[in-house]
A and B are shown apart, each in its own frame.
Chain A
Amino acid sequence: EPEVTQTPSHQVTQMGQEVILRCVPISNHLYFYWYRQILGQKVEFLVSFYNNEISEKSEIFDDQFSVERPDGSNFTLKIRSTKLEDSAMYFCASSQQGLQYFGPGTRLTVT
């Protein structure tokens, strides 16, 4: 069964450093998303991406964040200058239209 994959599974970085989180969505899906989950809290929407552009973004998704689909398969989330409060689990999801399938997540730890 096709699945969403994410790399790395765990990333440790120092405050102020740039990180890139990578996702490979399910191949025939058209909609791509990033969500985050701070430990013990609910899942929060960051951004959605369709037709090679951002379709919606949340207040969390400020100028420090960017997304890209550099080729036909990868979907990346870049955080330009990480802060302590960016420490969270980041989930990528994809969908045809409707049900969103989630990847295994990348745990980002900012020290």
Chain B
Amino acid sequence: ELKVEQNPLFLSMQEGKNYTIYCNYSTTSDRLYWYRQDPGKSLESLFVLLSNGAVKQEGRLMASLDTKARLSTLHITAAVHDLSATYFCAGDYNQGGKLIFGQGTELSVKP
């Protein structure tokens, strides 16, 4: 059974700093997803990573996938307060299959 683990679980950052969230998964996953969740809200899709070496960027967020290491990273560049949220990575076995989520990383960006 696929297991997905994130670290850190809590991250307090200062505005302007860089940091990386790590997502390890235990077995082969077809795809790796990153979602953002604001408090009390739904999950917003950020990135879908399909293959080894995939890198995607949107604004201050960049996600990458290393299937050999079973590792995905979400890198935050020059953090701003608006990025404060909980970030989840999730893997799936096959197209149309269930998502297995990590525990989430609660990010707080302070001025």
Residues of A within 8 A of B (CB): 30-31, 33, 35, 41-45, 48, 50, 55-56, 58, 91, 95, 97-105
Contact = CB atoms under 8 A, between A and B. Distances in A.
Contacts of B98: 33, 45, 48, 56, 58
B100 interface: yes
B45 interface: yes
Interface of B: 31, 33, 35, 41-45, 48, 88, 90, 95-104
B69 to A, nearest CB: 22
A101 B101 contact: no
- Looking at chain B's contact residues, the main secondary structure is strand
Contacts of A55: 96
A95 B96 contact: yes
B33 A104 contact: no
Given A102-B42, A102-B44, 8 more contacts: A43-B90, A45-B99, A50-B96, A55-B96, A91-B43, A98-B95, A99-B33, A104-B41
Contacts of B31: 98
